[in-house]
Structure 1
Amino acid sequence: MCANLTKQSNFDAIIIGGGACGLMCAVQAGFLGKRTLMLERNDRVGAKILISGGGRCNYTNLHTTAQQFISANPHFSKSALSQWTVDDTINFFETYGITGQEKTLGQLFPTTNKAKDIVEVFTNLCADLDQTIWLETEVKAVEQAQGGFVITYERYGKTQQITSPNVVMASGGLPVQKLGASDFGLRIARQFGLNVVKTVPALVPLTITGKDQSWYEQLSGNSIFCRVWNERISFEENILFTHWGLSGPAILQISSYWQAGEVFYMDMLPQQNITDLITAERATNPKKLLLNLLAGLYTRKFAEALSSMLPVQKNLASLSKADLELMEQLIHEFKVKPAGDKGYDKAEVMRGGVDTDELSSKTLEAKKVPGLYFGGECVDVTGWLGGYNFQWAWASGFVIAQQF
């Protein structure tokens, strides 16, 4: 179908994508008296916000610094995060009736525990500030033209075009295809000659196959507090055994620092030492079975699963030095070599994206293409689990709104 004649818009910017970054950008532009048009392919905005945190939306983290973000340039996020801080996020939502409650590790959730309340703040403000949102609108192309850009889009079965002096790419990343995820932002970046850092799923469950698979399968549903680490990073949170491998917060965290073929380690008793516990218990209860001691530290099912690796039917008094050394290694340095990950549809975010060297850290404008901005997940800035990625999205949306 041929495109209709190009319409000259009276918008200061067209925002492609109605997620966290795009919504914040539209609202902040509105505060400055600017008008934006948001083009969203779904039938509602904030689809990923609505499912985040199990529908509760962990909308920021009190401990946010640039250190919680993975990027080829670890300093890139500092400027945006300083222009829009965690306090700014908290104050913004409080102004519109949302107070936060801290969960573990600085994670902030709405006291209502409803992600839809976060989205409603933005939709209400967009309406109040005369920011236009077109739903079920798929952008097909973005091209440079005199004085700005021509955007080709399909809406209600018609292909049309509209112009704008500025374009904000807030179209997200590849995770969760059923929510409309695509590589459109990356394709536009490449089209304009911008480098894209290789993308992979991040904050994603990991799979175990082969001879070890059945051992993990038998523990499906068991959760253990662990320290999980490799030579680059360490996290202390719960892991969850599943019928296909490992999940849980600590696994999602380490997955962002894991590459295919690598191993990592789990300390399954990070706040105690297994030899010290055995020595202390042996002094008063030498006939106690190792199985029973382990069952007091973990679930019975997990203690029994260790029988294939440890002499769990021995009493504590009869454990040899070699037994204790084996215990130390198994409990405190449990080696894991995943076969792979569960892919983009199970990933929280995407690692990689538009190369930060191509963007101004202060404005998020493409250095080679004036008027073209990239924010949120499509940029090579990937946060830890726990609200960090939302803070980056809010910050990048705010920064871009100041520019056009």
Structure 2
Amino acid sequence: MKTNTLDVLIVGAGAAGMMCAIEAGKRGRRVRVIDHAKAPGEKIRISGGGRCNFTNTGIHPAAYLGENPRFALSALKRFSQHDFIKMVERHRIPYHEKTLGQLFCDDSAKDIIKMLTDEMKAAGVILSLNLGVKAINKTGTLFSVDLDDGSRVEAQSVVIATGAKSIPKMGATGWAYDVARQFGLRVTDTRPGLVPLTFEPTLLESLKPLAGVSLDAVVQHKAPKDAAAGRPSKPTQFREGLLFTHRGLSGPSILQISSYWREGEAITVNLAPDIDVAAALLAAKNENGKQMVHTAMGHIVPRRLAEVLCERAGLKGKLAEQGDKKLRALAESANAWTVKPVGSEGYRTAEVTLGGVDTTQLDQQTMEAKDVKGLYFIGEAVDITGWLGGYNFQWAWSSGWAAGQAA
């Protein structure tokens, strides 16, 4: 069997893996990156509608989830969004800011991929595609890695940057977790994150006319009582777009709240966040009682939504014919619609995976496994997950950078 000797073998040519390779290569390390995909950065390529929401101007600790989200602070501070923006500007990639600090390429996500592959090439990194791993073992100070092509690599350091389970059609798997467990590392419970939520059939049928309706909304999740503190946890809420689908709810606000929601719990949706719907309906009743109730609601929320809300409330006819109590109940269905999803669309459409390699088993400065010298885990494989809006890419850049300083 042909054996190649390296300083660093990185498995996974995604955002974290390529950033790690660049930094390790700059230190003069002999670095090779392998990936089973036919091209590097496939998740980068499809992100942000093909324009890659590569970071966020407002990266902050509260935007990250995990058993110990503060683990991410060291890497995020040492290689911040500002550092990555400088890299983008150095490569003269035009970009723009959308809402909530989200930065996107003006032209194509491929610009970010080219930047990373150019940087790897300049750092002397070898990139091998269409190549997977059969087995990883460690003897003494060296890792022995058997590859699909029948060759073997021996390396001082192995970096696992293969992501997690989200979007399996792109080849995503839980392989990183298998490696972690092989070497005795704990993996926290995993589940889909940043994912559309689904409803039970009866509710879906009543909301069927709303498929395709989108609007601005505030979506709130009230976590169960904090047992440690002995009091209810503070609700989490997001104000962004919401989309009714033929399966349930989607849109940025729903994707965000999905990372906090658990099966069996309810969410509360304000479908008219800038309007006191009860006050608006009662005022309309006084001013023009002959107006149909669904017409009055149609001035507040999209027409199709107004019709469905009125139908679900059992209200027909003119405003003057409706009691104030019924109008207030209708208003509450718009300003505080409490609904209990039955599930999510799963890893198939999830943008990220929540959970992963337990951060207590990793060095937060280097991302190295504390008890397995030379083994590193970075990016989505780790139990750190960010909000929608560039936060997960920044974690990939930052964790990859941190490992690249040490591997």
- Whole-Å Cα distance in 2 between the matches of residues 84 and 394 of structure 1? 8
Aligned to 1:373: 376
Using the TM superposition, give the Cα deviation of residue 244 of structure 1 relative to its aligned residue in structure 2, in angstroms: 1.2
What's the TM-score once normalised by structure 1's chain length? 0.95
Using the TM superposition, give the Cα deviation of residue 140 of structure 1 relative to its aligned residue in structure 2, in angstroms: 1.6
CA contact (8 A) 2:281 2:297 kept: no
Using the TM superposition, give the Cα deviation of residue 312 of structure 1 relative to its aligned residue in structure 2, in angstroms: 4.4
> Which runs of at least 4 in structure 1 moved beyond 6 Å after TM superposition?
none
CA contact (8 A) 1:290 1:311 kept: no
> What are the within-5 Å matches in structure 2 for residues 1-400 of structure 1?
4-5=1-2, 7-9=3-5, 11-112=6-107, 114-155=108-149, 159-232=150-223, 233-400=236-403
- Whole-Å Cα distance in 1 between the matches of residues 201 and 162 of structure 2? 38
Please, which moves more after superposition, 188-197 or 91-100?
91-100
- Aligned-residue CA RMSD (Å): 1.4
- Whole-Å Cα distance in 2 between the matches of residues 96 and 200 of structure 1? 36
How many percent identity over aligned positions?
A: 39
What's the TM-score once normalised by structure 2's chain length? 0.94
| 1:166 partner amino acid | S
Describe the SS at the equivalent of 1:269: coil
Using the TM superposition, give the Cα deviation of residue 327 of structure 1 relative to its aligned residue in structure 2, in angstroms: 2.1
CA contact (8 A) 1:216 1:244 kept: no
| 2:266 partner amino acid | V
CA contact (8 A) 2:278 2:332 kept: no
Using the TM superposition, give the Cα deviation of residue 209 of structure 1 relative to its aligned residue in structure 2, in angstroms: 1.8
| 2:170 partner amino acid | L
- Whole-Å Cα distance in 1 between the matches of residues 151 and 206 of structure 2? 56
- Whole-Å Cα distance in 1 between the matches of residues 208 and 289 of structure 2? 33
Please, which moves more after superposition, 73-82 or 216-225?
216-225
Structure 1 alignment gaps of length 5 or more: none
CA contact (8 A) 1:100 1:108 kept: yes
Please, which moves more after superposition, 217-226 or 165-174?
217-226
- Whole-Å Cα distance in 2 between the matches of residues 290 and 324 of structure 1? 9
CA contact (8 A) 1:64 1:388 kept: yes
Using the TM superposition, give the Cα deviation of residue 8 of structure 1 relative to its aligned residue in structure 2, in angstroms: 4.1
1:111-134 residue CA offsets vs partner (Å, 9 max, x unmatched): 22x111110111122222211000
CA contact (8 A) 1:50 1:56 kept: yes
Describe the SS at the equivalent of 2:254: helix
- Whole-Å Cα distance in 2 between the matches of residues 292 and 262 of structure 1? 33
1:3-52 residue CA offsets vs partner (Å, 9 max, x unmatched): x25x141x321000000000111112223332310011001100111011
Describe the SS at the equivalent of 2:189: strand
- Whole-Å Cα distance in 1 between the matches of residues 272 and 244 of structure 2? 16
